[in-house]
Structure 1
Amino acid sequence: MLHMFFAVAFSAVPLTLYVPPIRSLNLFVQTIEEIWNESSGYTHRVYPRIRYAFRRIFDCMLSGFKVTK
């Protein structure tokens, strides 16, 4: 059982390198919020155009598939 504990413990150690320390988490969240706020104006302007473009593309693709009864 002790061997299993050490195997699991040492295999989980590299995973801790991907998780930022708590003191850095605030800076990370602040940076993400700034990026979100800066890009929101552009996103709100472009998003309706992208939706419209995808709707036209899908309409063209699906117009070939006619349902017959």
Structure 2
Amino acid sequence: MYGEQITEISAYKERPELSKCLDNLSVGDNLVVHKLNRLERSMVEMLEHTALIERGVAIKTLNTPSDRTSEH
């Protein structure tokens, strides 16, 4: 389990715990987040996370019924 608490807008560029988490994901893993907007702060980040799906990682959110997986 990884977690960060960021209090400054400028600090969003540096998210070391998220980086560690993403580096450790592999095929068949599930990345679970509370809200998708907590994971993706920009279009660039969204595209990076789309690459996770292409790698076989499922992104699941706790606050919405739909998941981002390659199976849909």
TM-score tier, shorter chain, comes to under 0.3
Q: Which has the higher strand share?
A: 2
With CA pairs under 8 Å and 6+ residues apart, which has the higher RCO, 1 or 2? 2
Larger-Rg structure: 1
Q: Which has the higher helix share?
A: 1
Provide the TM-score with structure 1 as the length reference: 0.24
